[in-house]
Chain A
Amino acid sequence: MRTMLRQCLAVMRREVYYLWRDKGLRNILLAGSLLGLLVFYATYSTQVLKDIPTAVVDLDCSRESRQLVEDVSGAENLKVVACPGSFAEVEELIRRGQVVVGIVIPENYAKSVSLRRQVNLSVIIDGSNMIYATNAANTVLAITGTINAQAGIKTLLAGGLHPDQAQEAFSSVTFREEPWFNPTLNYAYFLVLALALNLWQQCCMLTACMNIIGETGRKSWSQLKAAGVSKFMFFFSKSTVQIALFILTVLPVYYLSFNVLKLPLACSFWMLLLFTLAFALALHATGTLVSSFARTSVNSTRFGMIIAVPSFILCGYTWPLEAMPQIVQQVVKVLPQTWFFQGINYLTFKDPGWTFMAPFFSALLVIAALSYAAAALIASRS
Chain B
Amino acid sequence: MEPVVRVRDLVQKIKKRIILDGVGLEVYRGECFGLFGLRGAGKTALLHILAGIDRFRSGSVEVLGYDIRKSERFKHQLGLVTQGKSLFQDLRAGENLDFLAALKNAGRENCHRVIERFQLTDYLSLPVTALEAGVYQRLALACALLNEPELLLADDLFQSIDPASHHIILRELKEYLACGGTCILSFNNMDAYSKNDLYSSISRVGWLEQGRLTVCQPGEARDQWDRRLKSFEEQSGENHA
Contacts and interface: CB of A to CB of B under 8 A. Distances in A.
B75 A227 contact: yes
A222 B51 contact: yes
A10 B95 CA distance: 10
Interface size class of A (residues with CB under 8 A): 20 to 34
A3 interface: yes
A184 B78 CA distance: 69
Contacts of B90: 14, 17-18, 21-22
Interface string B192-222: 0000000000000000000000000000000
A20 to B, nearest CB: 9
Interface stretch (B6-14, B99-107, B117-125): B99-107
A223 interface: yes
B95 A17 contact: yes
A228 B75 contact: yes
A10 to B, nearest CB: 3
B4 interface: no
A63 interface: no
Given A218-B89, A219-B82, A219-B84, A225 B73 contact: no
A245 to B, nearest CB: 15
Contacts of A218: 89
Contact of A6 (B84, B86, B89, B105): B105
A222 B82 contact: yes
A11 B99 CA distance: 7
B88 A223 contact: yes
B35 to A, nearest CB: 17
A223 B100 contact: yes
A21 B127 CA distance: 11
Nearest to B89: A220
B52 A228 contact: yes
Interface string A227-263: 1110000000000000000000000000000000000
A7 interface: yes
- The interface centre, meaning the residue of A11, A18, A218, A219 with most chain B CB atoms within 10 A of its CB, is A219
A222 B103 contact: no
A147 interface: no
B72 interface: yes
B111 to A, nearest CB: 12
Contacts of A10: 98-99, 102-103
Contacts of A327: none
A224 interface: yes
Given A3-B105, A10-B98, A228 B86 contact: no
Contact of B103 (A21, A219, A229): A229
B113 to A, nearest CB: 18
A222 B80 contact: yes
A371 B126 CA distance: 38
Given A226-B51, A226-B75, A220 B103 contact: no
B142 to A, nearest CB: 13
A9 interface: yes
B87 A222 contact: no
A222 B75 CA distance: 12
B53 A225 contact: yes
Nearest to A15: B90
A22 B72 CA distance: 32
Contact of A223 (B86, B98, B102): B86
B53 A227 contact: no
B76 interface: yes
A327 to B, nearest CB: 39
A305 to B, nearest CB: 23
15 contacts: A7-B105, A9-B102, A14-B91, A220-B87, A221-B86, A222-B48, A222-B80, A223-B80, A223-B86, A225-B51, A226-B53, A228-B72, A228-B74, A228-B78, A229-B103
Interface of A: 3, 6-7, 9-11, 13-14, 17-18, 21-22, 218-229
Given A11-B103, A219-B85, A223-B82, 11 more contacts: A10-B98, A219-B86, A220-B86, A222-B51, A226-B53, A226-B78, A227-B103, A227-B104, A228-B52, A228-B72, A228-B78
Q: Which 7 interchain pairs have the tightest Cβ spacing? A: A228-B75, A10-B102, A219-B86, A226-B80, A227-B103, A226-B51, A225-B53
